[in-house]
Structure 1
């Protein structure tokens, strides 16, 4: 099934579409989510929420503004960031035992490798150092642009401009390769 066929099925709310959508994109979306949400079960919950959001908001996808894959990656990324920032999620983290902290540290390399599975990190490493640093903060660590501005000690407008330029550089690099 092609992506265009899938989009038609989703827009028509065909129940077969969700299975195809999940089979095509669940691994890469889970890798992105897992980069933010370290606990496997929590990440699975966010993945499920992501597919529900895709299903319910398909009418907001516009082909002229970008690729479908980019659109759903942004939904997954934003869902993971929303989960991290949620009050309930933060309250549960305050009650972790020391054993869980060791597990989280051990899990870090596995999660980092998940990002490498979809290859994004390798492409980012080929960008300019300032782009690598900015993309690391904004996309891999989930910083807001304001938080990145504070961390890098540069004006917010500069972060926005550099982010746009870096993403364009990455997009151009991906089109060539």
Structure 2
């Protein structure tokens, strides 16, 4: 297997074979990341490809002393997915006063990752995205609001919807 530094050099030189090798090396993890946000494989693949295009265009900007290369790529692809989610029509019918979100109560924490993704398929796309950002990616409510340009009430509503839609499934899972 080729060294990651060698692949980076090839990509900086715009070597198509190097780009293909790098893409294939990170594809499994990055595709799973995109599937978190987009239940349809075609949508996930489109976002992954858009993200990797950004990686290849900006690979010369990567600095070893700033962190691991995979984390840099992951962040670019995740941000590409989040940018795409901005175009989703979000529900705005929210009663903020009736919603209480506990930061310590993660209904997904004890589940296997494969089971989590199957479970998330029951959620509408907007609710699924916010659920993933909050519970799996560790974003705070205010970070989600800023990133997706949503009100705090809307984000809390989606988290409340996550709990109400997943509760019956989780009760079966743990019974």
Which residue in 2 is equivalent to 1:54? 55
Question: Do the aligned partners of residues 81 and 146 (structure 1) sit closer, same or farther apart at CA in structure 2, a change above 3 Å counting?
Answer: closer
- Give CA deviations for 1:115-144 in whole Å, capped at 9, x if unaligned: xxxxxxxxxxxxxxxxxx9x7358267966
Asked whether the 8 Å contact 1:35–1:111 carries over to 2, the reply is no
Which residue in 1 is equivalent to 2:34? 33
| Structure 1 unaligned residues grouped into runs of 5+ | 95-108, 115-132, 154-177
Matched, 1:112 2:116: yes
Higher fraction of helix: 1
| Structure 2 unaligned residues grouped into runs of 5+ | 92-112, 119-130, 157-175
| Deviant stretches of 4+, over 4 Å | 140-144, 148-153
- Give CA deviations for 1:35-86 in whole Å, capped at 9, x if unaligned: 1112211111001101111110112211111110000000111011111112
Count how many residue pairs are aligned between Structure 1 and Structure 2.
117
User: When the two structures are superposed, what TM-score results if normalisation uses the length of structure 2?
Assistant: 0.55
User: When the two structures are superposed, what TM-score results if normalisation uses the length of structure 1?
Assistant: 0.54
- Please show how residues 152-171 of structure 1 align to structure 2 within 5 Å: none
Following the alignment from structure 2 to structure 1, what is the Cα–Cα distance between the partners of residues 54 and 26?
14
| RMSD, aligned CA | 3.7
Matched, 1:145 2:131: no
Following the alignment from structure 1 to structure 2, what is the Cα–Cα distance between the partners of residues 38 and 81?
14
